[in-house]
Amino acid sequence: MIEVENLSRIYQMGNVTVHALKGVTLTIPKGQFVGITGASGSGKSTLLHLLGLLDRQTEGTIRIGGIDVSKLTEHQRTLYRLKKLGYVFQDYALVPELTVEENVYITSMVRGMRPDVYQKETNDLLIRIGLFDRKKHKQSELSGGQQQRVSIARAIVNKPEILYADEPCANLDSESSKNVLDLFKQINQELNQTIVMVSHEDWHLQYFDRVITLRDGEVISDDLPLVKKG
């Protein structure tokens, strides 16, 4: 469970002070597929970065699984990200020099897992996302949708408590986007995986259990998607 209380983030850009988030308070229970939406500059990516321990808030607290992660040191935050969190980025962020399977098990290697264990888990995941036959390929040999699926495999290979996705379909066509969202939904339902995803596409909303909408750094709505309300 993620508990956020009075979360604020203020940036100083030259002489301009930017209030990216203003006192956001929310709770995300385990297993929920949450969508964060809003117009450009509304603070949705900032919120995701703070929840993902990629950035530090100016005010407020974030508790994940009962731990106040705001108080962790840089080293502890790095370990926490490695062991508890998974990330999917808009531009996939794969390491181009590595093969598909290497990109997937890189964090498992760093965690010190046995090669036979992470190799098996990687193979299982690649079968699941339909890229087992491409496991020796490099990033440049994959389509955008395939790259994003590899990115998702990398994010979930260590069975994170929370999976964060920052506009994962922004660079994909509709069909690839649908495949990625289907995969997210499948992971969410089959593994009870908590997913927090930023999106600004209306048609994505149908996949979410809950939609948090931001405007000017504040939560303006936090509800079921309209499609699910009937």
Partner 1 sequence: MGFIKTYEDQFIAYNIGNILVSPKTDDEYIEDIDELLEKINSVPGVSRAAGHYSTGGTLHYKGYSLGTTIEVIKPNDERLVTDIYKKIKDGDYLGEGETGQIIMGIQVSGHKDTAEDMGPTLGYLNSGDSVTVDFTNGVTRELRVKGIIETGSFMTDQGVYITWDEMESVLGHPITEGSNVIIKTDPDADEAAVKTQILRFGVAEKVQTWQDLLDEAMGRAIADYAMLNSITIVVSLIIAVVVLFIVIMIKTLSSRRQIGVLKAIGLEKGIIIYNYVFQVLIMTTLGVILGVFVLEAMVAILTAFPFQFSDGTVTPVVMTADLVNNTILLFIVGFFAGYIPAWRVASEDIMIAMRA
Instruction: Find the shortest distance in angstroms from Cβ 79 to partner 1.
Output: 7
- Of 110 and 220, which has the nearer Cβ to partner 1? 110
Closest contact distance (angstroms) between CB of 88 and partner 1 is: 10
> How far apart are CB 11 and partner 1 at their closest, in Å?
10
**Residue (108 or 213) nearer to partner 1, CB:** 108
Which residues of this chain interact with partner 1, rule CB under 8 A? 49, 52, 54-55, 75, 78-79, 81-83, 85-87, 89, 93, 95-96, 106-107, 110, 154-155
Q: CA angle at residue 73 from 163 to 28, to 5 degrees?
A: 30
In the DSSP assignment, the letter for residue 17 is E
> Partners of 190 in the beta sheet?
none
Instruction: Tell me whether residue 7 or residue 211 sits nearer to partner 1 (CB atom).
Output: 7
On whether the CB atoms of residues 44 and 201 are closer than 8 A, the answer is no
Q: Which is nearer to partner 1, 149 or 210 (CB)?
A: 149
38 C-beta neighbours (distance < 10 Å), count: 23
Please state the closest distance from residue 204 (CB atom) to partner 1, in A: 23
d(CA 10, CA 165): 22
- What's phi and psi for 13, nearest 5 deg? -115, 90
Closest CA to 95 of 150, 149, 133: 150
